[in-house]
Amino acid sequence: MGRKLLHSAVPKTVAEFREQVPLTTYLDYCSDLLQKCEDDLPVKPITWVQTSGRSGEYACKWVPVSRRFWDEAGIDFAAIALFGACSGKEKFTIQNNMRLLYAAALTPCLTGNIAKKLQDDVGFAFLPSLDEINSMSFEERVENGFNLALSGGMDGFFGLGGVLVGIGEKIKNGSGKLNPIHLLKQPRVAIRFARGLVKAKKEKRHILPKDLWDLKVIVSMGTDSLVYQERIKELWGRMPLNVYGNSETAVIATQTWDYRDMVFFPNLNFLEFIPTEECLKSRQNPFYQPKTVLLNEVREQETYELVITNFHGGIMTRYRLGELIRITALRNAALGINLPQMVFEQRADDLIDLGFMRLTERVIGQALENARIPYHGWMAHKEIAVNPRLRLYLEMQPGYAGSVKELAHTIYEEIKQMDDGLYVYKDLASLENLIDFSPIEITLLDAGTFSNYKKIKTSQGADLTELKPPHINPSEEILAQLGIDVARAAEPAGHKQRVSN
């Protein structure tokens, strides 16, 4: 397989490697990796990691992991645990047998393998136990872990940021199964709740999760981690550590002591960066091989598509992750870290380019959060009318009675206020004076649209990562499963435009 990927080249320097070896995507590996052809690999793997595939091309992706690669990754996972438990440089609160609520996917997904590694190497104990959760649904795992945390306490959280917010809101509002009230007959739970209630009453507010537990570590994955981080801190009393990684790389970057921008891990993957202009050229011409720069050549406030090559017997070679990262600074002056600082933006092919605005999942999600929009779920795609516009589908919380016009205006104003460098042009006021345009059109979805979709996917045996539709550019098939008629949704908006599911 190495000969196939290198096209018989035997590069002796980094320059020759970048000149002679073409960039790859998962399609270059499908015939071998989907069949788990271990004899064709440079090193026999100790495990295979699975992640979601690409509609119409492959149902899932399998990635081999060598023992040396996984041992090296374990060092990074331990570092993440330390950063997630720190309150400043070299100020850690971490020990063996810390109990963490587990709200992530199981093996063979990456997060399940990471949890097992943290259990073995760092001594974390997960709620519920990793040995007991294979037969549980995701909801059952979270509910079971929550009940264990109420009765026996917990020290941290490992999983999706959105789940942590959901649990916190249910405790705050006293609703749903994740509410301590129904367990008050248990003495330990009653004592914990009583103490929390005293704290909340002193501050004249609803009871919050931070009144029930004093978390020492929160590690969260996914783009929603950054969107929800302030709400997580408000509810749980601690900022989550945001980590960037995926199945092909294990982990790429992490936040450090200040819980702000991330730094790259040096030991797992060789990194290259495709500048935005080169990325656009390759989109326009699929046969064009975009040029890359190296880590010492990246520029501040520039956005790049990431290219990785695995070390330690991994097979991914000059592999295009299809993900955009932005270099926010060449060093962290406040902490004295002389390494480039980065943030994850979005998939390179999931960018919504309206000409005057380039929007990512993070930008739209952050605008919704900043505006305090009471939504249950959302999706968006580019729509061509008189001018390019963003079509935003929203399922609102029960009781919402506002108009789509007001919603669109509020969200647009929030986007304009965001300091996002490349993606949002700052001189939109001038453009608004020149032309009459509505950059955002909203379609309201019926209550239960997203939960019904989840039920359908669950009945089909879909993986955890596929139970929610993508936020950006959902396919027509997904829109149809949600009950959305694209042509009808694009009709001129009335006071309460709505699409039935």
Q: What is the tens place of the pLDDT at every residue in 406-432?
A: 999 999 888 887 754 433 444 555 455
Asked whether residue 76 falls in the same domain as residue 7, the answer is no
Same domain, 476 and 491: yes
Q: Is residue 250 part of a domain?
A: no
Q: Count, in order, helices (H) and strands (E) of the chain.
A: 17, 21
The answer to whether the CB of 333 falls within 8 A of the CB of 308 is: no
- For 43-47, 144-148, 169-173, which range has the lowest pLDDT when averaged over its residues? 169-173
Q: Looking at the structure, do residues 334 and 470 belong to the same domain, yes or no?
A: no
* Residue 346 vs residue 377, higher pLDDT: 377
DSSP 367-401: HHHHTT--EEEEEEEEEESSSEEEEEEEEEPTT--
CA distance 384 to 254: 38
Burial group, residue 330, by CB count within 10 angstroms (0-12, 13-18, 19+) = middle
271 plus 323 within the same structural domain: yes
Q: Phi-psi bin for 473: left (phi > 0), alpha (psi -120 to 50), beta?
A: left
pLDDT at 467 over 50: yes
d(CA 112, CA 416): 39
Mean pLDDT of 278-302: 90
Model pLDDT for residues 105-164, shown as the tens digit of each residue: 888 989 999 999 999 999 999 999 999 988 888 778 888 998 899 999 999 999 888 788
Examine the domain organization and report whether 278 and 311 are in the same domain.
Answer: yes
Q: What is the pLDDT of residue 271?
A: 98
| 62 in a structural domain | no
58 domain-assigned = no
Distance, in Å, from the CA atom of 326 to the CA atom of 341, rounded to the nearest integer, reads 8
Residue that is last in its domain, among 316, 349, 382:
349
Whether 252 maps to a domain, the answer reads no
Residue spans of alpha helices (H) in 327-484: 361-370, 404-417, 428-434, 449-459, 476-481
| Domain enclosing residue 103, as ranges | 69-243
CA-CA distance, 205 to 329, in Å (whole number)? Answer: 39
Per the structure, the count of domains in the chain is 3
Angle between helices 110-121 and 67-84 (to 10 degrees): 80
Q: Please report whether residue 75 resides in a domain.
A: yes
Same-domain status, 222 and 202: yes
What string of DSSP letters covers 57-96? TEEEEEEEE-HHHHHHHHHHHHHHHHHHTEEETTEE---T
Q: Evaluate if residue 365 carries a pLDDT over 60.
A: yes
**Residue after which a domain boundary falls, among 331, 349, 367:** 349
Any idea which residue has 């326009």 for tokens?
A: 284
Structural contact between residues 158 and 126, judged by C-beta atoms closer than 8 angstroms: yes
Residues 382, 281, single domain; the answer is no
Q: How far apart are the first and last CA of the chain?
A: 47
pLDDT at 251: 96
Give Cα separations from 132 to 50, 329, 365, 419, 442 (angstroms): 20, 44, 34, 45, 43
Planar angle of CA 338, 87, 84, nearest 5 degrees? 80
Where residue 444 falls among pLDDT bands split at 50, 70, 90? very high
Q: What is the enclosing helix (H) or strand (E) of 21? A: none
Residues 141 and 285 in one domain: no
Task: Clarify whether residues 459 and 403 are in a common domain.
Answer: yes
Tens of pLDDT, residues 53-97? 664 567 788 999 999 999 999 999 999 999 999 988 888 888 888
Q: Is residue 59 one of the residues assigned to a domain?
A: no
pLDDT at 332: 95
Residues 337 and 471 in one domain: no
Whether residue 464 sits in one domain with residue 322 = no
Q: Is the peptide bond before 470 cis (omega within 30 degrees of 0)?
A: no
User: Quick check: 225 pLDDT over 90?
Assistant: no
User: Is 182 inside a domain boundary?
Assistant: yes
Last-in-domain residue among 349, 366, 394: 349
Rounded CA separation 321/298 (Å): 18
* 215 & 310 share domain: no
| Bridge partners for 60 per DSSP | 52
Q: 116-130, 382-396, 409-423, 486-500 — which is least confidently predicted?
A: 486-500
Q: Is residue 254 part of a domain?
A: no
**pLDDT, greater one: 489 or 115:** 115
* Cβ contact 257:89 at 8 Å: yes
- Hey, what amino acid is at 230? E
- CA angle, 272 then 273 then 274, to 5°: 130
Distance (Å, whole) CA 180 – CA 48: 39
Which of the listed ranges 9-18, 273-282, 291-300, 452-461 does the model predict with the highest average pLDDT? 291-300
| DSSP codes of every residue in 282-296 | HHH-TT-----B-GG
**CA separation for the pair 19, 21 (Å, rounded):** 6
